[in-house]
């Protein structure tokens, strides 16, 4: 049967040529920055043996998803928005699948990190038994497996017949339905965000009480249980990851709120703006590490100065 798709017209620029060039340069700079700093996170946690802890393994998973956002999603979104898609329907399907896979694994990693901090703060005596390095690796594998399966469901029509959502050549869009959007909002937004907020509310309450106890140097022991003072490093980690979650939700919520209002994303400019706001979080996460984690700053220095090429550098005391 002949293909009745027409050739899409190139979008008329709404900005002047110079403004368009500056906008593209800015977006590509953000993309390159996202790639570079998340690559530093991946190398740091993977290379230095002292950083092989359950919490850092979860941060590594988040770093990988953020790295893919900068490497694939940002450049693809820039190209898809500013010009016609010339790579064909199959590559379009792969790109749409990567969007779903990466963003789902990202929010799943945040949820698991929240559970890790909840256990560390609320059950410090049992943390080392409950959260082991092996279990953290299993959780990461399950996180990516879940995102893999869900992404297949989300883009199933495109996987069966690439180009289903395109109305003309040169277009790369995903056809949304109310069922798809509803399931997506429940499974990848409402449920994980609810879990994250509830866990961090509990963590915040416990961390504040423990911080007060540390400042006053008081350990209260009752008949039923003992309140054990946490290490300052644990409290700092909880605070840092709390900031990470707040920033993440600030970047995430506008996109999903807009998808509720406009299921089919009829306004491409607004949809792209909220998408890039979502993606920009992947650039902010490593900056939060650098601001609050001294080990990350030390690791960057060792990597940039190529000291990691020296024999035995894996065993460097970096904490």
Interval 168-217: pLDDT, tens: 676 787 777 777 777 888 888 888 888 888 888 887 777 677 666 666 65
Report yes or no: 49 and 314 within 8 Å, Cβ to Cβ: yes
Q: Which fold has domain 19-315?
A: Rhopdopsin 7-helix transmembrane proteins (1.20.1070)
How many C-beta atoms lie closer than 10 Å to residue 119's C-beta? 17
Lowest mean pLDDT among 6-20, 79-93, 246-260: 6-20
Q: Where are the alpha helices (DSSP H) in the chain?
A: 17-47, 54-68, 74-82, 88-122, 127-130, 133-154, 156-160, 178-185, 191-216, 232-261, 268-292, 294-304
Q: How confident is the model at residue 2 (pLDDT cuts 50, 70, 90)?
A: very low
84/300: higher pLDDT: 300
pTM of the prediction? 0.82
Q: What angle do CA 8, 9, 11 make, to 5 degrees?
A: 120
Lowest mean pLDDT among 152-161, 196-205, 221-230: 221-230
Percent of the chain scoring above 90 in pLDDT = 19
Q: Where are the alpha helices (DSSP H) in 226-267?
A: 232-261
**Token pair listed for 15:** 């900005």
DSSP 174: P
**Token pair listed for 107:** 């929010």
pLDDT, mean of residues 27-34: 90
Lowest mean pLDDT among 125-139, 258-272, 294-308: 258-272
Q: How confident is the model at residue 17 (pLDDT cuts 50, 70, 90)?
A: low
142/288: higher pLDDT: 142
**Contact residues for 82 (Cβ-Cβ < 8 A; gap 6+):** 11, 20, 24
The residues pairing with 7 across neighbouring beta strands, listed in sequence order, are 169
pLDDT, mean of residues 70-88: 84
């Amino acid at each position: 049967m002949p293909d009745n798709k027409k050739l899409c017209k190139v979008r008329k620029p709404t900005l002047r040529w110079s403004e368009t060039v500056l906008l593209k340069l800015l977006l590509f700079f953000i993309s390159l920055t996202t790639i570079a700093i998340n690559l530093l996170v991946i190398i740091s946690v993977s290379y230095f043996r002292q950083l092989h802890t359950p919490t850092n393994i979860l941060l590594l998973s988040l770093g990988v998803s953020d790295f893919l956002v900068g490497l694939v999603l940002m450049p693809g979104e820039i190209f898809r928005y500013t010009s016609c898609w010339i790579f064909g329907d199959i590559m379009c399907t792969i790109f749409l699948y990567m969007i779903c896979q990466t963003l789902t694994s990202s929010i799943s990693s945040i949820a698991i990190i929240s559970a890790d901090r909840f256990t560390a703060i609320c059950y410090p005596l049992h943390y080392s038994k409950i959260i082991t390095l092996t279990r953290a690796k299993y959780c990461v594998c399950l996180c990516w497996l879940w995102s893999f399966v869900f992404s297949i469901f989300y883009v199933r029509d495109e996987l069966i017949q690439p180009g289903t959502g395109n109305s003309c050549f040169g277009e790369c869009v995903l056809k949304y339905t109310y069922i798809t959007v509803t399931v997506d909002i429940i499974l990848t937004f409402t449920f994980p965000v609810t879990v994250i907020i509830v866990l961090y509310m509990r963590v915040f309450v416990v961390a504040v009480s423990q911080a007060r106890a540390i400042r006053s140097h008081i350990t209260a022991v009752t008949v039923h249980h003992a309140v054990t003072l946490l290490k300052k490093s644990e409290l700092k980690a909880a605070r840092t990851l709390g900031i990470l979650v707040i920033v993440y939700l600030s970047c995430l919520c506008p996109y999903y709120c807009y998808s509720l209002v406009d299921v089919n994303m009829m306004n491409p400019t607004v949809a792209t703006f909220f998408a890039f706001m979502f993606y920009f979080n992947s650039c902010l996460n490593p900056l939060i590490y650098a601001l609050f984690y001294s080990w990350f700053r030390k690791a960057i220095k060792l990597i940039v100065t190529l000291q990691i090429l020296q024999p035995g550098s894996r065993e460097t005391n970096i904490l």
